[in-house]
Chains A and B, each alone.
Chain A
Amino acid sequence: MGFSKFFNSSIKLNIILIISFSISVNSFILMPNMNNAFYVLFHLTFIYIIFYHYHYYLYLVALVYGLLFDILLLNNIGAHLITFLSLLILFILLRKYLIRLSSYQIIFIYFIILIILFLIEQFLANLIHNYKLNMSLIFNFILISLIIFIPTIFLLTKLDK
């Protein structure tokens, strides 16, 4: 009881961000899908925080995680940083329209945004850092997203009460 009092939902969600980030940047040769799953979980949680706990501090969060993802996974700054900050700006622009939508429509948009994020990251990695468009990685992300999307939303809503 005291534990959940101490940690409000925003802190809990940020802890999930830290854990999923840490696991996604450490490769496990025997379980490569583990990295990918936590990479997807990070994106899912980040979009969830933007949608339901929007605050100005998220620009700083986007800057830090964007930088770290770029340096640790690409060794160059660009793809993730641009994507995360663009997502925040896009949310500000579309917020007034999102409020009018039903919960099912929101969930659908949530999933579409997740997939678009992966595509944009791959595209920017290709454009800025010269990494080949890896379609099998994108399909892997989409498959993992399909599997963990509903359970993750359920878990995040439970944590969020």
Chain B
Amino acid sequence: MAPKFQIKVFQISTFVKNLTIISILTLSFLLVFFSKSDLYVINGIKNISSSVIIPITRVISAPVNAFSNFVDEYNQFRSLKFENKLLQEEIMRLKKWQTLAIQNSRENKVLKKLLNATDNNLTLIKTASLINRNDTIYSKLINLNAGHEDKIEKNMSAINERGLVGKVIDTTAKNSRVILLTDPNLSISVKSISDGIFSLLTGNGDGKYLVSSFVKENKMPRLGDIVVTSGTAQIFPVDLLVGKVAKVEKNRFFVLPFVDFENIDYLQIVTSK
């Protein structure tokens, strides 16, 4: 008779187990401690998470995404008739505005020639589309499909046709992360167009409004004033549209951004000339 086949089970000793746990706890402590620094390891972990983990999570969550798109299409289909009527009215209104805009544009060109003014102060780096967003729980972040291979760098501004959207905070070869204006950890220096009042705005945490964290000389802007980037912090280019003053209190004011953060498909990454 053939001898019975026996497998020797290798058991990890308690010492090795405890050593592993202590190593993990120490590593975690160090990671937390150095998380805000610009260390190579921290950047490496962040890069891996945005270039490797995000695509994997997108594949896994694809069925939910498909369902979400289906619900969206169904809702759009239901409101088709009503939207059609609204669009017809809007076309009529826009045609009137178009005539005025063409007139103004001609006038503008003539005036610019007279003043010898340059067209704008922005350099377009890249137009990128949105890969995914992490803006429901905690921070307001989105990921774009262009990175430092497309010459996108940290601290560049992200805009769309409505105005300032946010700032690039991380880049990998092919992806970049943008922190939205509505994030409480992003501050922008702005000025009001009518009075030139300088202030700092941060996200209010509700994802809708921006709130002033500092107002120069405590002068409050008027309700309805338009605020643009002041360019004083030299992070954002000057005169980018930010939003409209929606509420003024004794020591602070609230701004409603022009950008619809729920409908972002494409962004332009720009920098000052």
What is the predominant secondary structure among interface residues of chain B facing chain A? helix
Q: Which of A23-55 contact B (CB under 8 A)?
A: 23-32, 34-36, 39
Asked whether B205 lies within 8 Å of A24 as measured between CB atoms, the reply is no
A10 at the interface (CB under 8 A from B): no
Bound Cα distance A74, B179 (Å): 10
Q: Considering only CB atoms, which chain A residue lies closest to B23 in the complex?
A: A59
Instruction: Indicate whether B28 reaches chain A with its CB closer than 8 angstroms.
Output: yes
Interface residues on A, range: 35 or more
| Stretch of A1-9, A102-110, A128-136, A145-153 at the chain-chain interface | A128-136
Smallest Cβ distance from A30 to chain B, in angstroms? 5
Residue numbers in A under 8 Å from B36 (CB-CB): 76
Is residue B101 contacting chain A, with contact meaning CB distance below 8 A? no
- In the complex with contacts A81-B31, A129-B185, A75-B169 CB distance below 8 A: yes
Interface residue? B91 (CB, 8 A): no
Q: Give the size of the chain B interface in residues (CB under 8 angstroms).
A: 48
The answer to whether B45 and A71 touch across the interface, beta carbons within 8 angstroms, is yes
A115 interfacial by beta-carbon distance below 8 Å: no
Q: What is the minimal beta-carbon distance from A82 to any residue of chain B, in angstroms?
A: 7
Q: Is the interface of A mostly helix, strand, loop or mixed?
A: helix
**Measured CA separation A131–B137 after assembly (Å):** 11
The reply on A98 being an interface residue by CB < 8 A is no
B193 within 8 A of A: no
Give the one of B46, B57, B58, B205 with max A CB within 10 A: B57
Within 8 A of B (CB), among A88-130: 125, 128-130
Nearest CB in chain A: distance from B59 CB, A: 8
Partner of B60, one of A18, A60, A67, A77: A18
Does B191 touch A at the CB level, under 8 Å?
Answer: no
A63-B49 contact in complex given A28-B64, A132-B205, C-beta closer than 8 Å: no
Complex CA distance for A77 and B20, rounded to whole angstroms: 21
A27-B135 contact given A56-B21, A130-B185, CB 8 Å threshold: yes
Contact of A22 with B185 in the complex, beta carbons under 8 Å: no
Chain A nearest CB from B199 CB (Å) reads 19
- What's the minimum C-beta distance from B270 to chain A, rounded to whole angstroms? 22
Q: Which residues of chain A come closer than 8 Å to B35, judged between CB atoms?
A: 70, 76-78
User: What separation, in Å, do the CA atoms of A113 and B154 have in the docked complex?
Assistant: 39
User: B42-99: which have CB < 8 Å to A?
Assistant: 42, 45-46, 49-50, 53-54, 56-58, 60-61, 64-65, 68, 71-72, 75
Taking the complex as formed, is A159 at the interface, i.e. its CB lies under 8 A from any CB of chain B? Answer: no
A73 and B134 within 8 A (CB):
yes
| CB closest chain-A residue, reference B16 | A56
Q: Is A85 an interface residue (CB 8 A)?
A: yes
B133 at the interface (CB under 8 A from A): yes
Tell me whether A27 and B25 are in contact in the complex, defined as CB-CB below 8 angstroms, given that A22-B56, A22-B60, A76-B36 are known contacts: no
* Residue from the list A31, A70, A130 in contact with B184, Cβ < 8 A: A130
A155 at the interface (CB under 8 A from B): no
Contacts A22-B56, A131-B205 hold; do A66 and B68 have CB atoms under 8 A apart? no
> By the criterion CB–CB under 8 Å, are B61 and A30 in contact?
no
Q: Is B61's CB under 8 angstroms from A22's CB?
A: yes
Residues of A within 8 A of B134 (CB): 25-27, 72-73
Whether the pair A72, B68 counts as a contact (CB closer than 8 A) is no
Contacts of A39 in B (CB 8 A): 137
**B116 at the binding interface (Cβ < 8 Å):** no
Contact bitstring B133-151, A, C-beta under 8 A = 1, else 0: 1111111010000000000
**Can you spell out 6 A-B residue pairs with CB atoms less than 8 angstroms apart?**
A22-B57, A26-B57, A35-B137, A66-B28, A75-B177, A131-B185
> Which 4 A-B pairs rank lowest in CB-CB distance, beginning with the nearest?
A22-B60, A77-B35, A22-B57, A132-B205
Other than the given A21-B57, A131-B138, A132-B184, 4 more pairs (CB < 8 A) read: A27-B132, A36-B136, A72-B53, A77-B31
Q: Which residues of A line the B interface, CB within 8 A?
A: 18-19, 21-32, 34-36, 39, 56, 59-60, 62-63, 66-68, 70-78, 81-82, 85, 125, 128-132, 134, 137
